[in-house]
A = this chain, B = another copy of it.
């Protein structure tokens, strides 16, 4: 195997807390979506009756249901805790304001507010930076990698989940420019990985159920379902969730699997909806399918004219998304170089929290966008007595709108605080944008009457929030980028709408343009396509905007890709992960397996000396994971994995030199499953000098029918086989069935279509 510098297999050093502070980080490993159909496996399958298979199928459904319920509950928990804690926070500020309004010391209230934010962010950041660095960010790049077949260490552990949930709560309450939606995807995935295995290594608890599912193939299927359930809970978009999982992960579309994924998604959004309705004392009101919803776009606002479509497309071509990615790329490189100690990371997060608070204050203070306080605007802070005004739709149930700010308190704040810098009977438009939760601001930008926002306010807000969000993404806090992106996009989209209306004298509903802008910005940043369209359509609740949203996302992707990759892909690339795209680069037909494969290959004999195996496994310079098994003269007869060899060595499945078998317990699949997925390193297995002379018979344990290709096969063809079947190793044979090479994920992920044709990525380069 071509040796790949080990350094690059360590996931994102900066974000992992640095090589120095976390030296025990295991290297990233790859998942094997292809079952190792060895004799043990086939025997088990052949023994199993039809009823047995049916029970397995029922278990799979049960697990998916459970994944949905737990994911929904986690989303619900985050939502409720954020609501409660934020309420206490605002209560405290409110009391402070009331106390100081008379004496004119309102700056003290502001400082109190800043200090509170600061503390929450600090707690969240310390949790992430010191206890579980992999819980930082939204987790979507990590889950994308997992579904692609690359396992980043500790990414689906219970501890990660706990830190992630606490971290998200802290960073949202801390007032950072973040959303709580992205991390739900990671949370769902962890739940799935845990539930499907029927045990937790963190809790040292093995329920002895679902043992059949303890292998990569099954686990990855469930993780797909978990990710989908997460999307579903975050955006109330079960179909979008399914498509997200498929788009990111499933190379092989399986009907039953997709159906189960959909089931998990449905259950997840239903659970969230149901429990939120209980917590809002409105049991059975199923109007909160996700953590965010965009409010109802009414039909009369929805129609667009044909001539607007080019305008939408033009908005999609605004490269603010790519600019965001560009800035974040350099910021991330800076962080990897200089901010890799946990304490530095915590300090940076606190700095961002402080800056966010200060900038908000400055903006509000210097803003002179005072809007008259009439009944229409008052509706933004709805009191239940207000009926929905004319074509301003009832955005959602009132209890939802008041998620963060109970209305009495809000009214007070509003009158005594936000109005402060404005005349009586007016309020500060900038303050309403900054002091709302991002979710609420997005909805206001979509639905508020034309004229609510001053263009200058929107412009300044866009610029400020853009830089804040860009700085925030990549901090050592758990937080998502979806909501900030939507907010930035909605702001400049609304600006476009206002500008168009004034310039071209056409009537343009600014809310509509806000939606398009949000789609353009989000699409420009994350570059998701099909699933994002469906997520946005489901969150909008109306299919009419499907076509424009799709065209905008398409434009944003095409234009954005010209300048910079998507944000997740940037982060994946910075971690040197061998990520396989959908197809081989278009112009790679001239490459054949001969050029691509790693060779020579370390092969093992079917009956091999234990010493040789130990030596091969201990060779840190190669660190291979799969070994073709051969019979002389080097004819391929199987493939065995490092993990299998480790289990064999651990159980000392040796044949004595003389040929007589030791009295040993026959190894069963259960032994492999018990060791899954944390196989011990070879260094921890002691093999005595005597044992080194024994032989091991691999016949029973190797996969006797690995997929093979010949050396003349073109790269696209190998790529297709590899990707479609989710392989980890593909053996290359010559015309006499002799092993001549091995194709692994890294061999294929190297090739990349750059601006100057096919490029070979140096996965070994930082």
Does residue A124 face the partner (Cβ distance < 8 Å to B)? Answer: no
List chain B residues, Cβ under 8 A from A252. 251-253, 720, 724
- State whether B757 touches A258 (Cβ < 8 A): no
- State whether A285 touches B303 (Cβ < 8 A): yes
- State whether B45 touches A267 (Cβ < 8 A): no
- State whether B717 touches A254 (Cβ < 8 A): no
- State whether A725 touches B720 (Cβ < 8 A): yes
11 further interface pairs, Cβ-Cβ under 8 Å (given A289-B543, A636-B735, A707-B709): A48-B587, A239-B239, A246-B253, A251-B252, A253-B253, A284-B306, A287-B299, A705-B709, A707-B721, A733-B737, A736-B737
Partner of A529 from B259, B284, B721 at Cβ < 8 Å: B259
- State whether B251 touches A253 (Cβ < 8 A): yes
List chain B residues, Cβ under 8 A from A254. 582-583
Please give the distance in Å from A582's CB to the nearest CB on chain B. 5
Partner of A266 from B35, B255, B550, B725 at Cβ < 8 Å: B550
List chain B residues, Cβ under 8 A from A712. 704-705
| Nearest chain B residue, comparing its CB with the CB of A45 | B589
Partner of A253 from B53, B236, B250, B733 at Cβ < 8 Å: B250
Interface residues of A (CB under 8 A from B): 35, 37, 42, 45-46, 48-50, 53, 236, 238-239, 242-243, 246-247, 250-256, 258-259, 262-263, 266-267, 269-270, 274, 284-287, 289, 299, 302-303, 305-306, 529-530, 533-534, 537-538, 541-544, 546-547, 550, 554, 582-583, 586-587, 589-590, 635-637, 704-705, 707-710, 712-714, 717, 720-721, 724-725, 733, 735-737, 753, 757
Please give the distance in Å from A71's CB to the nearest CB on chain B. 15
Sample of 7 A–B contacts (CB below 8 Å): A35-B717, A239-B537, A262-B530, A269-B547, A284-B303, A541-B543, A736-B737
Q: How many copies does the complex hold?
A: 2
- Give A256 to B557 CA distance when docked, in angstroms: 12
List chain B residues, Cβ under 8 A from A236. 543
- State whether A50 touches B543 (Cβ < 8 A): no
Given known A736-B737, A737-B736, contact A46–B285 (CB-CB < 8 A) = no
List chain B residues, Cβ under 8 A from A269. 543, 546-547
| Nearest chain B residue, comparing its CB with the CB of A707 | B721
List chain B residues, Cβ under 8 A from A530. 242, 255, 258-259, 262
- State whether A546 touches B238 (Cβ < 8 A): yes
Please give the distance in Å from A32's CB to the nearest CB on chain B. 14
Please give the distance in Å from A373's CB to the nearest CB on chain B. 30
| Nearest chain B residue, comparing its CB with the CB of A709 | B705
- State whether A547 touches B267 (Cβ < 8 A): yes
List chain B residues, Cβ under 8 A from A547. 266-267, 269-270
- Give A275 to B53 CA distance when docked, in angstroms: 51
- Give A550 to B270 CA distance when docked, in angstroms: 12
Please give the distance in Å from A292's CB to the nearest CB on chain B. 14
- Give A262 to B537 CA distance when docked, in angstroms: 13
Partner of A582 from B37, B255, B735 at Cβ < 8 Å: B255
| Nearest chain B residue, comparing its CB with the CB of A638 | B712
List chain B residues, Cβ under 8 A from A267. 547
- State whether B255 touches A247 (Cβ < 8 A): yes
- State whether A708 touches B705 (Cβ < 8 A): no
- State whether A543 touches B538 (Cβ < 8 A): yes
- State whether A46 touches B259 (Cβ < 8 A): no
List chain B residues, Cβ under 8 A from A725. 720-721, 724
- Give A286 to B583 CA distance when docked, in angstroms: 37
| Nearest chain B residue, comparing its CB with the CB of A631 | B735
List chain B residues, Cβ under 8 A from A35. 717
List chain B residues, Cβ under 8 A from A302. 286
- State whether B724 touches A705 (Cβ < 8 A): no
- Give A449 to B317 CA distance when docked, in angstroms: 49
- State whether A590 touches B637 (Cβ < 8 A): no
- State whether B303 touches A266 (Cβ < 8 A): no
- State whether A735 touches B53 (Cβ < 8 A): no
Please give the distance in Å from A202's CB to the nearest CB on chain B. 32
| Nearest chain B residue, comparing its CB with the CB of A41 | B589
- Give A35 to B712 CA distance when docked, in angstroms: 15
- Give A641 to B46 CA distance when docked, in angstroms: 36
List chain B residues, Cβ under 8 A from A262. 530, 533, 550
Please give the distance in Å from A143's CB to the nearest CB on chain B. 16
| Nearest chain B residue, comparing its CB with the CB of A557 | B259
Please give the distance in Å from A533's CB to the nearest CB on chain B. 7
List chain B residues, Cβ under 8 A from A554. 259, 263
- Give A529 to B262 CA distance when docked, in angstroms: 10
- State whether B266 touches A284 (Cβ < 8 A): no
- Give A250 to B258 CA distance when docked, in angstroms: 13
Please give the distance in Å from A510's CB to the nearest CB on chain B. 19
- State whether A529 touches B255 (Cβ < 8 A): yes
List chain B residues, Cβ under 8 A from A50. 586-587, 753, 757
- Give A302 to B289 CA distance when docked, in angstroms: 14
| Nearest chain B residue, comparing its CB with the CB of A538 | B543
| Nearest chain B residue, comparing its CB with the CB of A723 | B252
Please give the distance in Å from A721's CB to the nearest CB on chain B. 7
List chain B residues, Cβ under 8 A from A46. 589-590
- Give A704 to B529 CA distance when docked, in angstroms: 36
